[in-house]
Amino acid sequence: MSKKTFLFAVILFSTTVLTAQSLRTSIDTLNPELFMKTRGGLNNSYAAITKNKKATVAFLGGSITYNPGWRDKVCAYLKEKFPGTKFCFIAAGIPSLGSLPHAFRLQRDVLDSGKVDLLFIEAAVNDKANATDSIKQVQSLEGIILHSKKSNPAMDIVMLSFADPEKTKDYDNGKTPVEVYNHELVADHYNLPSINLAKEVHDKLSNHEFSWENDFKDLHPSPFGQELYFQAIKKLLEKCFADTASLIENRILPSPLNQSNFANGKYVDIKKAKHTKQWQFVNDWVPSDKLDTREGFVHVPVLEADKPGAALSFSFKGNAVGICIVSGADAGIISYSIDNGMYKKMDLFTQWSGFLHLPWYLILGSGLKNGKHKIIIKIADDKNENSKGHACRIVHFLVNDMK
């Protein structure tokens, strides 16, 4: 290649790069404020941070909250902005878990740690992945809010709806994703700040500000995506902190959206069950098949049976009951009856069970008359065609105890 030809090629390449960069930087980027609602603000947590100089901030969510990224950035931002404040951060993200698990683990995983001043909640991605129906989403999200407010009426709460490809497709088709709708429904009813990050990601993709494949990459966001999430949350915090109106701790809560919400959701010890000899209490459960596990659901006590016909009974007080299990490659099918009612079946095998002992939360009875009840659970004779066995491993009983 001659020097002239080479020089021409370099100039052409440089011009092309500069033109592409100019086009990219010339795009009017969408303001994150378009996708957030401050509503009642964050005045109480701001007072705890600036006046009391002591604040507890909790993060309740799935793997996007568990993984390093936006959560760490929010913690660093708060410590840098308020250097004279002593912060306690509660990282309560557990992969695979959505609003239903959050409602029943809230007390143990968050509230038992002490008074919480600011709570971030995210569940929209896993509610979709776990096929949590719309009613249970509202029961769970509302339950989390009411339970949290009962523990501390002045607690500030931020609702976050993160992005995934299915939500992007919904917006492409002119639909609001059910999970986002429910997050916003509950946030609006209780006048809570919220950010619709699913919509922000969709609209910024449509605005050609970045691409999913090269920039965001996955529903577990790349560093680029984590930064986008953080910047939006930071913007919301700054907007709310700039509004130093009177405190709102004495606000009267509205009537519930769903009277059967899980505001009193809790774990109940598996030792409360009565069972046949086919069930075994394993104090330190680990899988024998070497499949992956989730932190908090291995090296824990489980009540385990893997033979058809194995039966147990569990008496409880409240209006809802369920089980938290680990569902692996040998997960079976259970049949169950509440208060001597008709037996129903529930398949414990999930789409992930073949390669992971997944924490799986199942509501077996909801909207019951508040009071004393008894549920009988048996291992069924049949099983999922993809399962290797009939196993049921219960980590917790779930009860909504109305007291």
What is the reported pLDDT for 188?
98
Does residue 359 carry a pLDDT above 50?
A: yes
390: amino acid identity, one letter: H
Strand order in the sheet with 371-379: 274-275, 311-318, 371-379, 333-338, 344-347
What is the reported pLDDT for 245?
59
What is the reported pLDDT for 342?
97
The SS3 call for residue 174 is: coil
Beta bridge partners of 352: none
Does residue 6 carry a pLDDT above 80?
A: no
Are 357 and 287 within 8 A, CB to CB? Answer: yes
Which residues 6+ apart lie within 8 Å of 290 measured at CB?
Answer: none
User: What are the backbone dihedrals phi and psi of residue 338, each rounded to the nearest 5 degrees, phi first?
Assistant: -110, 125
Domains 27-242 and 265-400 share a fold: no
pLDDT band with cut points at 50, 70 and 90 for residue 181: very high
Does residue 88 carry a pLDDT above 90?
A: yes
Report which of residues 75 and 28 the model is more confident about. Answer: 75
What's the pLDDT tens digit per position in 276-332?
999 999 999 999 998 999 999 999 999 999 999 999 999 999 999 999 999 999 999
Q: Please give the Cα distance from 111 to 246 (Å, whole number).
A: 26
Least confident of 15-29, 98-112, 159-173: 15-29
Does residue 4 carry a pLDDT above 70?
A: no
pLDDT band with cut points at 50, 70 and 90 for residue 18: very low
User: Count of residues for the chain?
Assistant: 403
Does residue 14 carry a pLDDT above 90?
A: no
Q: Please give the Cα distance from 204 to 210 (Å, whole number).
A: 7
What's the pLDDT tens digit per position in 366-401?
999 999 999 999 999 999 999 999 999 999 999 999
pLDDT band with cut points at 50, 70 and 90 for residue 10: very low
Q: What is the mean pLDDT of the chain?
A: 92
Are 165 and 212 within 8 A, CB to CB? Answer: yes
Does residue 16 carry a pLDDT above 80?
A: no
What is the reported pLDDT for 248?
53
What is the reported pLDDT for 85?
98
What is the reported pLDDT for 24?
45
For the 265-400 domain, the top CATH level (class) is mainly beta
What is the reported pLDDT for 244?
67
pLDDT band with cut points at 50, 70 and 90 for residue 9: very low
This prediction has a pTM of: 0.91
Does residue 7 carry a pLDDT above 60?
A: no
Q: Please give the Cα distance from 270 to 223 (Å, whole number).
A: 40
Does residue 257 carry a pLDDT above 50?
A: yes
pLDDT band with cut points at 50, 70 and 90 for residue 11: very low
Decide if domain 27-242 falls under CATH 3.40.50.1110.
yes
Instruction: Kindly report the number of other CB atoms within 10 A of residue 4's CB atom.
Output: 8
pLDDT band with cut points at 50, 70 and 90 for residue 243: confident
- CB environment 68-86: b (16+ within 10 A), e (fewer): ebbbebbeeebeeebeebe
Does residue 147 carry a pLDDT above 80?
A: yes
Q: Taking each helix axis from N to C terminus, what angle separates 70-81 and 223-242, rounded to the nearest 10 degrees?
A: 40
What is the reported pLDDT for 45?
96
Cα 195 to Cα 25, 31, 180, distances in angstroms: 25, 12, 10
What is the reported pLDDT for 249?
52
- Region 41-47 average pLDDT: 94
What is the reported pLDDT for 252?
84
Are 250 and 154 within 8 A, CB to CB? Answer: no
Q: Any idea where the domains of the chain sit in the sequence?
A: 27-242, 265-400
